[in-house]
Amino acid sequence: MAGGKQTPRQRMINLMYLVLTAMLALQVSSTIIDKFIFLNASLEHSLVFARQASEASLGALKKKVEKDPSAEGTKAVRRAEELKKKTAE
């Protein structure tokens, strides 16, 4: 069937299967798109939450280093700033 000559009846059957598959794909696609939209919204919400938590942690670290400056503290703040720049890209 793959390479042989097809009868008009077989071509019509194949075309009907193709149309049926396309119709099923169109019917399912709205549900799948809805799920992708939901996933996107969830990921964006998680990203916002993670950024807020990261900013809060960095702010707390900076405040602590301002109160009690030390070589290790300033080094940690510098590393955190570098990581923030790298993850923003």
Rounded Cα–Cα distance for residues 60 and 81 (Å): 13
Q: Does the pLDDT at position 5 exceed 90? A: no
49-80, pLDDT tens digit by residue?
Answer: 988 999 999 999 999 999 988 888 889 999 99
pTM for the structure as a whole: 0.56
The one-character DSSP state at 2 is: -
State the pLDDT at residue 87.
82
7-56, pLDDT tens digit by residue?
Answer: 888 888 888 989 888 888 777 767 777 888 899 999 999 989 988 999 99
Are residues 77 and 65 in contact, defined by beta-carbon separation less than 8 angstroms? yes
